[in-house]
Amino acid sequence: MSPIRSICCLGAGYVGGPTCCIMAQQCPDITVTVVDKSVERIAAWNSSNLPIYEPGLQEVVEECRGKNLHFSTDIEQAIKQADLVFICVNTPTKTFGLGKGKAADLKYVELAARMIADTVEEGQGRKIVVEKSTVPVKAAESISNILRHNIKPGVTFQVLSNPEFLAEGTAIEDLLKPDRVLIGGEETKEGKEAISALGEVYRHWVPQERIITMNTWSSELSKLAANAFLAQRISSINSMSAVCEATGADVSEVAEAIGRDTRIGPKFLQASVGFGGSCFQKDILNLVYISECLNLPEVAEYWSQVVSFNNFQRFRFSQRIVECLFNTITDKKICLFGFAFKKNTGDTRESAAIYIAKHLLDEGARLSIYDPKVTQQQMMMELTQPNISPESPDRIYNLVTCHSDPYSAAEGSHAVVVCTEWDEFVTLDYARIYNTMTKPAFLFDGRKILDHENLIKIGFHVETIGKRLHRKNIERSWN
């Protein structure tokens, strides 16, 4: 079997873009073309202002773009020229119909498969199609069925599963030094040859022992399981944070103690306002739906509790803000530091800040928001979504202001709420911020990143996750 010489990626988003940039950098002998229907997105990839922010990504793009890395809207041409086609399209949770609110919507995956089948011409030989989008188990089988029933003479398809395990904010590092690369495919001679061909691409920079091959279904399920386990750890430590606040324990100390156990380890034990991003909630709900379809209600209920507690943690934090501000925040200005779901990314999907903002707006607050990488347009788009502002989205424009620096955002506010753990928030001049705020001045550290004792000395009333700084007398009942 001849080696891969040309790769096409359908989808220029958070997965396809960075993945193919690193492939181009590490495989100079392979031509990599990233395609998308969005003219604006492709134009951004071809400019100095990339459509997504990832540390190190700009440098990789500038190194390879125009050499063996190309961004284009000519999807058909890229598919025809490619030996291997990655499907990196969006797979959102369904908002209607069967499986609403849980199942993955695979319409874009199906459209991609049909486009590949329609575009490949007679006599083009072998084409390897790789699903890289997060998909439910047996999605590759659906792709295979579409391709098989639309096949042309002189063409063969092999469908592989190659899930991504990127963490936004560290995607470039994750791609360069992955913990593992999973490749799932058919257990046939042709399937094994296709797996080997994709493996050879990764072997340009990934050690052989980190490339794991398996059957397609195991590969697909492994992605859902990995995200479910990570989210479970976050909800587990967040549940402990509630107990710590009620008892006087410190969740950071508890996390360190249990993290020293080598069977548990220290990662993903940082209590916070809750997890966000495009993957964790979506993948857990997908796993819940699959379990329900397989008549495994106990499994479905187990994993649904991870999402339920995450929602509770956001609401609990929001309620604490209201309670501390004398049980009313009507017409009070509250400043949010951070809107991205985590630091070092501009991605706001399922960010805890969105839901905290919703709760505060529902209580009548006026919000001022600062985030170093999220645009005003993106913030307003999230806050005017029907599930956030179902009755009157227009009121958001009257109640929310977005700022280009943290000091103007905090000026005149009753409280500052840290929603994202950006490094710059640690080094701000909080004495300056305090002097411009309405007194008493409150600071709610939802990420546990600030020097609380110093903030208290400045004059702030400080509240954080998993630790009671202003201790109340608690009558314990252990029965």
Question: Which residues does the annotation mark as catalytic?
Answer: 279
Q: Which two tokens stand for residue 95?
A: 């908002």
Continuous segment of H or E residues that includes residue 63: helix 57-64
CB count in 10 Å sphere of residue 170: 16
Cα distance between residue 353 and residue 419, in whole Å: 6
440: preceding bond cis by omega (within 30 degrees): yes
CB count in 10 Å sphere of residue 207: 11
Q: List the Cα angle 285/287/288 in 5-degree steps.
A: 60
Residue 368 φ/ψ, nearest 5 degrees: -120, 135
List beta partners, residue 70: 33
Quick one: how far is CA 305 from the chain centroid?
20
List beta partners, residue 126: 156
Cα distance between residue 256 and residue 248, in whole Å: 16
Residue 176: is it exposed, middle or buried by C-beta count within 10 angstroms (0-12/13-18/19+)?
A: middle
HSE-up of residue 164 (Cα within 13 Å, Cβ side): 27
Cα distance between residue 35 and residue 458, in whole Å: 53
Q: Which residues contact 113 (CB under 8 A, 6 or more apart)?
A: 87, 129, 142, 143, 146, 147
Cα distance between residue 401 and residue 371, in whole Å: 12
Most distant CA pair in the chain, distance: 79
CB 243 within 8 A of CB 249: yes
If you count them, how many residues does the chain have?
A: 479
Q: Which two tokens stand for residue 368?
A: 């001022």
CB 205 within 8 A of CB 211: no
